[in-house]
């Protein structure tokens, strides 16, 4: 059984290939878009790349992916859970007449039946879903990385036949205040921080650690204290820093999915039963308004 893992330049396919290994006999990585042949770091059985005009349009991309999937006899197609691929996802499922499920955490075959574990209710529950059609399309979290190293991708020709209902009129880069995907150190905070003025405490600690500042979903969507480019988690950014400090974050599954592969995780929370401690290498149970100032004082003293 062949699985097609689709990524675009700047996305690391390794987390997706690892996700599907148990459920697949053969894994093919497809690099979608870009300016031409490139190298991709992956242990997949084959690495393909497809480029072309209007490939940034969802309709055209869905056509290209479906053609490659049929050419590879793929029974499973895995897409990253990013804004672009969430648009492609339903179009591709329709073209392949495939079962579809989003926000997948695990895949396995049980008695020949493909099953997926996915998040429900914003990440507070996990459901097991049986995919009964012969072809399935899923989305899953993916990490960002530098593309341009590893195995050269084989270019494939596709003849897209869709007539896009839209065209690209202009492009402009998104203004971002930080660089979470490539941060080596990251200090994130959640609802435990009581007021917007107290974010200055997080900023001070991050500065002493030479770290970027991140946050959990409520800080962006409910409080609106920070912009979405600071959000860590399933609906934000997946990060893999060498140091991740979680302050006042309970650790709901949608947040853990986005940061659990960090090398060293330090959690500060007043609730000893907080889920964040299940993934922490170092856990500090205490009031962040007492713990964080002490950390700041200790780091400041060391830097003198």
pTM of the prediction? 0.63
| Integer angstrom CA distances of residue 60 from 29, 40, 80 | 18, 22, 17
The domain locations on the chain are 2-155, 180-303
Tokens of 266: 């330090």
Please give the share of the chain, as a percent, with pLDDT higher than 70. Answer: 86
> Alpha-carbon distance 139 to 134, whole Å?
17
* 243 beta partners: 185, 264
Q: What is residue 181's predicted lDDT score, i.e. its pLDDT?
A: 85
- Check whether 223 has a pLDDT greater than 60: yes
| Tens digit of each residue's pLDDT (9 = 90 or more) over 94-132 | 999 999 998 898 999 888 889 999 877 656 678 999 998
Please give the share of the chain, as a percent, with pLDDT higher than 90. Answer: 54
| Integer angstrom CA distances of residue 209 from 161, 169, 212, 213 | 52, 42, 9, 11
> Alpha-carbon distance 259 to 279, whole Å?
9
Angle at 297 between CA 182 and CA 277, to 5 degrees: 55
Q: What is residue 111's predicted lDDT score, i.e. its pLDDT?
A: 86
Residue that is written with structure tokens 């974050």 in the block: 249
Q: What is residue 164's predicted lDDT score, i.e. its pLDDT?
A: 60
The domain 2-155 is placed in CATH, from the list 3.40.350.10, 3.50.50.60, 1.10.150.120, 3.40.50.620, at: 3.40.50.620
Q: Do domains 2-155 and 180-303 have the same CATH topology?
A: yes
Q: What is residue 36's predicted lDDT score, i.e. its pLDDT?
A: 55
Residue that is written with structure tokens 């992916």 in the block: 65
Tokens of 53: 């005009």
- Check whether 52 has a pLDDT greater than 80: no
Q: What is residue 269's predicted lDDT score, i.e. its pLDDT?
A: 97
CATH 3.40.50.1220 is the classification of domain 180-303: yes
Q: What is residue 128's predicted lDDT score, i.e. its pLDDT?
A: 93
Average pLDDT, integer, range 162-175: 66
User: Which residues have a Cβ under 8 Å from the Cβ of 31 and sit 6 or more positions away?
Assistant: 7, 8, 9, 38, 40, 47, 48, 49, 50, 147, 153
- Check whether 151 has a pLDDT greater than 70: no
Say how many CA atoms lie within 13 Å of 206 toward its Cβ.
22
- Check whether 1 has a pLDDT greater than 90: no
Average pLDDT, integer, range 133-162: 71
Q: What is residue 91's predicted lDDT score, i.e. its pLDDT?
A: 95
Q: What is residue 150's predicted lDDT score, i.e. its pLDDT?
A: 59
Check residue 128 and give left, alpha or beta (phi > 0: left; psi -120 to 50: alpha): beta
Q: What is residue 303's predicted lDDT score, i.e. its pLDDT?
A: 81
Q: What is residue 38's predicted lDDT score, i.e. its pLDDT?
A: 63
> Alpha-carbon distance 165 to 163, whole Å?
6
Tokens of 73: 């006899």
Q: What is residue 32's predicted lDDT score, i.e. its pLDDT?
A: 87
- Check whether 161 has a pLDDT greater than 90: no
Tokens of 31: 């690099």
Average pLDDT, integer, range 196-219: 96
């Amino acid at each position: 059984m062949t699985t097609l893992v689709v990524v675009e330049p700047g996305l690391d396919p390794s987390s997706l290939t690892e996700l599907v290994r148990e459920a697949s006999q053969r894994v093919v990585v497809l690099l979608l878009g870009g300016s031409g042949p490139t190298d991709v770091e992956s242990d997949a059985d084959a690495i393909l790349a497809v480029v072309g005009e209007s490939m940034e349009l969802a309709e055209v991309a869905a056509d290209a992916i479906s053609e490659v999937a049929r050419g590879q006899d793929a029974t499973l197609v895995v897409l990253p859970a990013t804004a672009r691929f969430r648009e492609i996802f339903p179009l591709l499922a329709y073209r392949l007449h495939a079962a579809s499920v989003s926000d997948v955490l695990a895949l396995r075959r049980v008695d020949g039946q493909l099953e997926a574990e996915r998040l429900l209710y914003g990440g507070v529950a996990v459901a097991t879903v049986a995919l009964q059609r012969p072809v399935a399309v899923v989305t899953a979290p993916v990490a960002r990385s530098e593309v341009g190293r590893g195995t050269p991708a084989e270019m494939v020709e596709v003849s897209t036949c869709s007539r896009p209902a839209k065209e690209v009129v202009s492009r402009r880069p998104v203004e971002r205040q930080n660089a979470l995907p490539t941060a080596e150190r990251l200090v994130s905070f959640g609802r435990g921080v009581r007021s917007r003025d107290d974010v200055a405490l997080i900023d001070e600690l991050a500065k002493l650690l030479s770290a970027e500042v991140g946050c959990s979903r409520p800080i962006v969507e409910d409080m609106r204290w920070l912009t979405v480019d600071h959000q860590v988690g399933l609906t934000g950014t997946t990060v893999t820093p060498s140091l991740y400090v979680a302050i006042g974050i309970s650790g709901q599954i949608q947040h853990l999915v986005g940061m659990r592969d960090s090398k060293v995780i330090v959690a500060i929370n007043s609730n000893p039963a907080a889920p964040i401690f299940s993934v922490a290498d170092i856990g500090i149970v205490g009031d962040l308004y007492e713990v964080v100032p002490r950390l700041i004082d200790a780091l400041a003293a060391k830097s003198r």
